[in-house]
């Protein structure tokens, strides 16, 4: 009987480990975020502002402006397709979840779209916070491939030397402490030729949208974990170009963004140390189309104005001194 139990354990243990691999936390799963932190942070205990989230943080918030006006060290660890789980995991890994850190996080509606996950893949950090049932349900036939990808990412993170995870010295973000300035101008776009206002939504960002599923439940878990820290956290819904805003006003896309703002406001209000700033429903005419690289990303000129606007909002609402 003992031999049978022993053999059963030996047989079942690898399977249990493999199945629960997505629950392993403390990994960032994003070398780019790690490289930014290793490049810009020398004193992990000093007061600082850390900007993070997706590309609408990386391309739209300039740390130098905030640092100069507030006198606080500021870095931007936002990355393309970034997410709040990777942001939280990176701060956890580097012991940056302390009271002297102010976190400013861009949260776009796509992060809460289950259908987007099915079509384009999910940030591996998000998987850590899903239940087993949610993981199986959302990935269905691709669950084992997701586990395999996660295993390789964990192995890579374990054996990659910290010293090698830094930005290349030629990277333009070196001089701007993580900010990535882009150029572009949508003022000449003919939006009438963009057919994305139907219910089936050809634009991939909103493709077959489902904003009331696994992603939202997982997001709420991560928000609670962030709230349990001593940090002051500000999450924001970014603006869009004025022409695009007028183009989608009253459409299905507009309803998604409005509901997203409502949700972020609601969940933020549950926690004393989390604040929400809505730049979508309070769309400002100060952002001309010439300040946008595309319909949803500001160019460098727009980023300077947006950073100052965000900074004014932080000060006005007493989020920073």
Q: Which CATH number fits domain 22-316: 3.40.50.1110, 3.40.1080.10, 3.40.50.10540, 3.30.420.40?
A: 3.40.50.1110
Residue identified by tokens 């395999």 is: 148
> Given pLDDT bands bounded at 50, 70 and 90, which one contains residue 275?
very high
7 sits in which H/E element: helix 2-19
Residue 255 clears pLDDT 70, i.e. is over it: yes
Q: Do 118 and 138 touch, CB atoms closer than 8 A?
A: yes
Write the CB contacts of 119 (distance below 8 Å, at least 6 apart in sequence).
204, 207, 208
Of 117 and 186, more confident: 186
Residue 160 in tokens: 């990659």
> Given pLDDT bands bounded at 50, 70 and 90, which one contains residue 226?
very high
Arithmetic mean of pLDDT, 116-132: 72
Residue 118 clears pLDDT 60, i.e. is over it: no
Residue 263 clears pLDDT 80, i.e. is over it: yes
> Given pLDDT bands bounded at 50, 70 and 90, which one contains residue 201?
very low
Domain boundaries, the chain: 22-316
Q: Do 299 and 292 touch, CB atoms closer than 8 A?
A: yes
Arithmetic mean of pLDDT, 63-67: 95
Arithmetic mean of pLDDT, 100-122: 79
129 exposure class (CB count in 10 Å sphere: 0-12, 13-18, 19+): buried
Arithmetic mean of pLDDT, 22-32: 79
């Amino acid at each position: 009987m003992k031999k049978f139990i022993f053999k059963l354990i030996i047989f079942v243990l690898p399977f249990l480990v493999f199945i629960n691999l997505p629950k392993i936390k403390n990994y960032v799963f994003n070398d780019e975020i790690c490289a930014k932190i290793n490049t810009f942070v020398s004193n992990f205990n000093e007061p600082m502002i850390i900007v993070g989230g997706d590309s609408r943080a990386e391309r739209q918030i300039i740390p130098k402006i905030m640092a100069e006006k507030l006198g606080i060290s500021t870095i931007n660890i936002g990355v393309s397709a970034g997410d709040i789980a990777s942001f939280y995991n990176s701060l956890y890994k580097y012991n940056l979840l302390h009271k002297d850190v102010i976190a400013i996080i861009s949260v776009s509606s796509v992060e809460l779209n289950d259908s987007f996950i099915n079509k384009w893949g999910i940030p591996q950090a998000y998987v850590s916070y899903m239940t087993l049932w949610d993981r199986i349900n959302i990935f269905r036939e691709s669950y084992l491939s997701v586990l395999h990808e996660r295993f390789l990412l964990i192995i890579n993170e374990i054996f990659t030397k910290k010293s090698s995870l830094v930005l290349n010295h030629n990277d333009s973000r070196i001089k701007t402490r993580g900010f990535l300035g882009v150029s572009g101008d949508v003022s000449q776009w003919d939006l009438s030729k963009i057919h994305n206002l139907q219910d089936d939504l050809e634009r991939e960002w909103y493709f077959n949208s489902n904003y009331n599923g696994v992603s939202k439940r997982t997001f709420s878990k991560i928000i609670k974990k962030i709230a349990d820290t001593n940090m002051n956290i500000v999450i924001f819904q970014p603006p869009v170009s004025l022409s695009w805003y007028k183009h989608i006003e009253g459409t299905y896309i507009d309803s998604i963004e409005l509901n997203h703002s409502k949700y972020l406001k609601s969940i933020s209000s549950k926690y004393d140390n989390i604040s929400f700033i809505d730049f979508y429903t309070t769309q400002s005419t100060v952002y001309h189309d010439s300040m946008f690289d595309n319909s949803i990303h500001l160019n460098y000129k727009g980023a300077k104005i947006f950073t100052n606007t965000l900074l004014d909002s932080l000060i006005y609402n007493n989020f920073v001194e």
